Structure 1
């Protein structure tokens, strides 16, 4: 065979290999795994509210401040994983054709640092645009700057399109720009209109093929439909947990946005000091729970492998309180958008698999301080 024939054959073989890789589709993300020290650390970012009052000077300044909060927490804690715990955007204030532009900004701090993440939906993420009453005054509609849409439009961009962006569209856009780091999922079609319903396994460091932690993510509604975890989601949870963890040997954590009615039952009196057995520093409002309870809390409370539930939604709360044999925790208001002027921060959760399994948590503030340390894996509450 002549030299040029050899090179041609090699080129054809290389092209065939490339085409084969393309046909196989994108590679699956690397599995989540406990670090060599046997620990797995999560940072929970709740209620970022990007895009709020985008037509004012105040709104973009709040988004800049939210960028700084997440950067400070990520650089101080160096987590293995980030959970975006709902209300990433204030869609009812977003006058753009695609709220995923702001959604993308919200997840960019984790993406830039190569930290994998997951998202759940909050009640503001797909709300329809709310027209400010003052826009109908003699002053009229103020100048509104709308960044270009994320996807190409079939016709010239008409400017601002005042509409919400559906949950599926937001999630699809996130996955398209994830660089292999997002572990979010649209979830089963039978659970719609709820979208962010999925479970993630974190593999053991000591036994590389065995899961040492299960994390369940649930859509608690709001925005385009009522704030509720449905009976169908309860059935799905039973099915998943029985399949993945039939003997309850693997510890489990649960994440959604709007607190269940169980949070009302254990809540310290609003504006009072948080006292044991609860742990926290912020207790400035009443719990704003889901509109109904359709069995999820009963399912979780009777499952000893479930150690804690984490929610956002209430900006003025950051406590953890025991309920039955698990813990109910709020995150910490992370974004500078949204109501309240309390200092911003994030809840950190560190899981250890060595010797005796443990879950420890604390609040990391924007200024670098930490507080409200609590062990969430206690077998007894005192």
Structure 2
């Protein structure tokens, strides 16, 4: 009997140990599973800083391809815009390119073999001027130079990319079809609201299997719904994106550890509504750069209903740590950066890159550059406007001291 009890005791002890191991191992296994699955680009190369520890991001915004295809003026502007892209890419040799908008079709490019990346930040196409049968073919034209150079890229979309003959979803699908270098993707179903699928993030620069920089892309929608019964589309980031931000950042912490160990930059075509009040407080010394567009009346996100983008704005600033800046296009006459005091976050405008879209004498065309000098997530980021001819202006350091 004693031996039997001893055997049972040993068996019970073994079961107890196994259960304890399972209890303590479960969180580790969960983290390991999250780490393995938290890679939205399993078939693509990981993006890294250069060997010298730097990373340069170039943002093309508001290219507005496809205007007036029925006359000589429109196609000529596309030729001019492509010339600007060729010049800037050759001169700047960025590590990442972001294109904010086809009209709002943002193509952000990553030059893999140079650790490069370029961004197109919205309004890549002026969708209301295109024809149904060839609207998406303009994407072929835009990504052509990137395919030729074998540059990975991604895109965001804006109000001119949702029109009677084109939608954000169609542009995303076309981009994926015609370019193996595209890093653009759509959010899970139910995230982004009607006609706002372009919400996603891209991990950048891995150290010990975890990224030190995450680039966030948000879909501010706008424009009009497709088809004969077209109606206006809300021009703000949908409230459903707020819960998605919370869940994505939670998964990142489970997979990669504390959010304090990585930095972030966010891109959205139409500026958040909270930015509108900043314009009256600008100081040309502290906030250099052209300030020629008055915000409001459709020139800021949530233009038709105050606070409709509040859920997104609150979630972004509460959950994304070390957020160096939120960057928008849409307002072609603005170039400045300023700190939004309520959330203590820096906001910057891009530079109007395309020759399409509204313009004014003396505004010029160019890009915004961002230079990371170190993978340190808390280090300041240098940014400036570069014009097509090579002139630079509005150079500032986005750090804890900026705008205070």
Q: TM-score range by the shorter chain?
A: 0.7 to 0.9
Match of 1:33, SS state, is coil
Kindly report the root-mean-square deviation, in angstroms, between the aligned alpha carbons of the 2 structures: 2.1
The corresponding residue for 1:226 is 234
The corresponding residue for 1:338 is 357
Q: Does 1:308 align with 2:325?
A: yes
Within 2, Cα distance between the matches of 1:321 and 1:306?
14
Cα offset, 1:34, TM superposition: 1.0
Matches within 5 A, 1:181-200: 181-191=181-191, 192-193=193-194, 194-200=196-202
Cα offset, 1:188, TM superposition: 1.1
Give TM-score scaled by structure 1 length. Answer: 0.78
Matches within 5 A, 1:121-200: 121-128=157-164, 164-179=165-180, 181-191=181-191, 192-193=193-194, 194-200=196-202
The corresponding residue for 2:284 is 275
* 1:271-297 C-alpha deviation (Å, 9 max, x unpaired): xx8524323234343351122323222
Answer yes or no: is the 8 Å Cα contact 2:338–2:403 preserved in 1: no
Within 1, Cα distance between the matches of 2:241 and 2:367?
27
Cα distance, 1:278–1:380 mapped onto 2, change above 3 Å: closer
123, 128, 149: which one aligns with 1:92: 128
Cα offset, 1:299, TM superposition: 2.6
Within 1, Cα distance between the matches of 2:248 and 2:42?
24
Answer yes or no: is the 8 Å Cα contact 2:132–2:166 preserved in 1: no
Within 2, Cα distance between the matches of 1:69 and 1:315?
16
Within 1, Cα distance between the matches of 2:42 and 2:346?
36
The corresponding residue for 2:245 is 237
Cα offset, 1:268, TM superposition: 4.0
Q: Does 1:266 align with 2:278?
A: yes
* 1:147-176 C-alpha deviation (Å, 9 max, x unpaired): xxxxxxxxxxxxxxxxx1232221111011
Matches within 5 A, 1:59-70: 59-70=74-85
Match of 1:241, SS state, is helix
Answer yes or no: is the 8 Å Cα contact 2:293–2:331 preserved in 1: no
Match of 1:222, SS state, is coil
* 1:69-95 C-alpha deviation (Å, 9 max, x unpaired): 111111111111111111110010012
The corresponding residue for 2:372 is 351
Within 2, Cα distance between the matches of 1:334 and 1:101?
20
The corresponding residue for 1:364 is 386
Runs of 4+ aligned structure 1 residues displaced above 4 Å come to none
Within 2, Cα distance between the matches of 1:196 and 1:209?
26
Answer yes or no: is the 8 Å Cα contact 1:251–1:307 preserved in 2: yes
Within 1, Cα distance between the matches of 2:278 and 2:91?
32
Within 1, Cα distance between the matches of 2:197 and 2:340?
27
Structure 2 unaligned regions, length at least 5:
1-40, 101-121, 226-232, 303-307
Give TM-score scaled by structure 2 length. Answer: 0.74
276, 286, 294: which one aligns with 1:285: 294
Within 2, Cα distance between the matches of 1:214 and 1:316?
28
The corresponding residue for 1:28 is 43
The corresponding residue for 2:335 is 318
Structure 1 unaligned regions, length at least 5:
1-25, 129-163
Q: Does 1:298 align with 2:314?
A: yes
The more displaced of 169-178 and 346-355 is 346-355
Within 2, Cα distance between the matches of 1:274 and 1:286?
16
Cα offset, 1:354, TM superposition: 4.5
The corresponding residue for 1:214 is 214
Match of 1:195, SS state, is coil
